[in-house]
Amino acid sequence: MTPLADHPLVRQVAAFCRRQGLLAGAGAVLAGFSGGADSTALLLILHALAPERLRAVHFHHGLRGAAADADAAWCRDFCGVRSIPLRLEALAVPRQRRRGESLEAAARRLRLAAWRRLALAESAAAVALGHHADDRLETLLLRLARGANASGLAAPRPVAVLDGVRLVRPLLECRRAELASFLREQGIAEWREDESNRDLRLLRNAVRHRWLPLIRADLGHDRGLLATLRALDADAAFLEAAALRAAESATPGLAALRPLPAALRPRVLRQWLTAAAGADWIAPESLLRRVEAALAKPGPCRIPVAGGRLLVLEEAGLRLAPAPLPAAAAVAVAESATIAWDWRACSELALPGGATLVAAEGPAPADPVAASGRDTAWFAAAALPPVLQVRFWRPGDRLRPFGAQFTKKIQDILVDAKIPRERRGRIPLLLAGTAPAWLAGVCRAEFARLRGVAGEPAVCIRLLWPGAAAP
């Protein structure tokens, strides 16, 4: 048998990773491992390329009973034989599903939240996923049917950053049949098969098992579709670069959007929204239609967007603002009781208004101040109580700012930070007992300061505003 690192497919993937910079950085590489053929091939290839950095992660969604338990056991045995570290993550999708949310959407949301937590805890350089060339063909046909521009049709990409998680896809130049053949060459004749992958009521399965086979049967191949993807990659890269230049050179607003070519407007809007939100923002078609309508008439426009926010479009500017709450809801938020957050038992805490607090334990970075930001704070694990109190700030609250020898009214801190008055009521305050630890997204308190020793046990807490900017 050819040594794994010398196998042609492994060399092909290694070259692709080098060209795209997929495994750059010294941190761990987390690999999604479902036990299916694609993720199993990915795990073996990454084990040959970066064995010391590799960590496998298997998600148990709580959806398929004994079959899901068997998948987890198979993955545990597979990794155990090869001494690959494996983490099993139980997501309990049905229990954590939100009202009106599909199971697929809930699973995606919970996986991303878990990846955020794990990537932070592991100081990961990347989260590797097993998408391959056939997945891109399926996505191309799906999005053609649903409607998408070149950027949407060219997905998934080799690298994407979503809510701070760097997702990489090393197998995008590989075909599904190549991966299965590779596994058999390594003596792996069986892998896990999710029975839902045969359910033709799911549109992606229909594309895989009906649409694409018809095209291949009639044409004898699918090379034209692959050539289309390569052309779309080039078109999307050019348009996105042009949109980035336009977004950087003009003040966002209706006056700046109007003269732009129609192909650039949605991309420029996405650039602005991503920068404002601090996370990748994909504008739905309904939002783009409303923006186009706003461009046709003078005056400001306010459009509801995800996360309980308003996109405010004015002639000279664009901003994200909190959506006004109904009177009863406003009273409930203003007078909400303090929440006791057992951050070890539940690493995420959803707050009124759409924000989420996420906690992760891990070694402290060499420079915690540099590693922190507006929405990230590091604390000494030994000084942080197992249960934090979380509430919205109240008049009269005081806080000792980081590095200061005095306390200061939080109201004055908010004024100094130029937080508009209408946004101040949604800013969460974390307390250790009664001592303020962090006015989230605004001001870190002196409480639980790290000693500055690299590797010191620490807790990183992040404030996330999915689909919208922090106040």
In tens digits, the chain (471 residues) has pLDDT values of 457 889 999 999 999 999 999 998 889 999 999 999 999 999 999 999 999 999 999 999 998 889 999 999 999 999 999 999 999 999 988 888 877 778 888 898 899 889 988 998 888 899 999 999 999 999 999 999 988 899 999 999 999 988 778 999 999 999 999 999 999 999 999 999 888 788 888 888 999 999 999 999 999 999 999 999 999 999 999 999 999 998 888 777 888 899 999 999 999 988 888 777 666 677 777 788 888 888 888 778 888 876 567 788 888 888 877 666 554 444 444 445 678 887 877 778 877 766 788 888 888 877 777 667 778 898 988 888 888 888 888 888 899 998 888 999 999 999 998 888 777 777 889 998 888 999 998 999 998 888 777 678 888 998 887 543 333
Q: Which residues contact 322 (CB under 8 A, 6 or more apart)?
A: 308, 309, 310, 353, 422, 423, 426, 471
pTM of the complete model: 0.69
The amino acid occupying position 239 is L
Residue 112: inside a domain? yes
Domain boundary among 322, 342, 361: 322
Distance CA 74, CA 39 (A): 13
Q: Which residues contact 130 (CB under 8 A, 6 or more apart)?
A: 32, 34, 36, 38, 39, 41, 42, 169, 171
Tell me: do 446 and 369 sit in the same domain.
yes
Residue 234: inside a domain? no
Sign of CA dihedral 444, 445, 447, 450: positive
Domain boundary among 176, 196, 219: 219
The pLDDT of residue 278 is 60
Residue 227: inside a domain? no
Tell me: do 91 and 162 sit in the same domain.
yes
Residue 442: inside a domain? yes
Tell me: do 260 and 407 sit in the same domain.
no
Domain boundary among 293, 322, 351: 322
The amino acid occupying position 30 is L
Tokens of residue 209, six digits: 């098992």
Q: Which residues of 56-69 are buried (b: 16+ CB within 10 A; e: fewer)?
A: bbbbbbbbeeeebe
Residue-number span of the structural domain to which 454 is assigned: 333-464
Task: Look up the CATH number of the domain holding residue 94.
Answer: 3.40.50.620
Tell me: do 214 and 274 sit in the same domain.
no
The pLDDT of residue 468 is 38
Tell me: do 297 and 409 sit in the same domain.
no
Please state, as a whole number, how many other Cβ atoms lie within 10 Å of the Cβ of residue 422. 11
Residue 469: inside a domain? no
Distance CA 399, CA 251 (A): 35
Tell me: do 141 and 24 sit in the same domain.
yes
Tell me: do 145 and 262 sit in the same domain.
no
Please state, as a whole number, how many other Cβ atoms lie within 10 Å of the Cβ of residue 290. 19
The pLDDT of residue 419 is 85
Distance CA 100, CA 106 (A): 10
Residue 228: inside a domain? no
Residue 38: inside a domain? yes
Tell me: do 149 and 261 sit in the same domain.
no
Tell me: do 290 and 339 sit in the same domain.
no
Q: Which residues contact 188 (CB under 8 A, 6 or more apart)?
A: 40, 44
Tell me: do 41 and 180 sit in the same domain.
yes
Residue 165: inside a domain? yes
Distance CA 425, CA 252 (A): 26
Tell me: do 298 and 158 sit in the same domain.
no
Total domain count for the chain? 3
- Give all strands of the β-sheet with 387-392 in edge-to-edge order: 339-342, 387-392, 428-432, 435-439, 443-444
Tell me: do 268 and 364 sit in the same domain.
no
Contact status, residue 438 vs residue 461, Cβ threshold 8 Å: yes
